[in-house]
Amino acid sequence: MIVGFAAETGDEQGTVLDHGRAKLARKGCDLLVVNEVGEARTFGQDHNTVHILRQGSSHVVDAGPASKADELTKLAALRDQGILTGSEFETQKAALLA
């Protein structure tokens, strides 16, 4: 399996996904991980969003940052498993919600 990576911006000629699909076809990859770049995206940011495209499929997997609810669920599970103490959980929770 060949996985390619691309940094793409949308423009008047197409969206990020349009450019990503064209690159997937040109490069002959099985999968292409398309990173959205541009003003206030990716560079200098703590989180970014990528789209995963697969050869022969129109389905797009969006792999963005986890929501705060998802992160809190993970922290609670770690606390419930005894991996985090109650105090550590509260500290991490406060940092996440700050």
DSSP class of 98: -
One domain for residues 84 and 55: no
User: 0.75 cut: is pTM over it?
Assistant: no
Confidence of residue 40 (pLDDT cuts 50, 70, 90): low
Tell which wins on pLDDT, 96 or 87: 87
One domain for residues 25 and 44: yes
Residue-wise pLDDT for 67-84, tens only, equals 677 778 878 888 998 888
One domain for residues 34 and 75: no
Residue-wise pLDDT for 6-25, tens only, equals 988 888 999 989 999 999 99
One domain for residues 9 and 55: yes
Domains of the chain: total? 2
pLDDT, residue 64, reads 66
One domain for residues 58 and 26: yes
Q: In whole angstroms, give the CA distance from residue 43 to residue 55.
A: 27
One domain for residues 43 and 59: yes
Q: List the domain range (segments joined by +) for residue 80.
A: 68-97
One domain for residues 29 and 72: no
One domain for residues 44 and 14: yes
One domain for residues 43 and 78: no
One domain for residues 56 and 40: yes
* 1-17 residues labelled b (16+ CB within 10 A) or e (exposed): eeebebbbeeeeeeebb
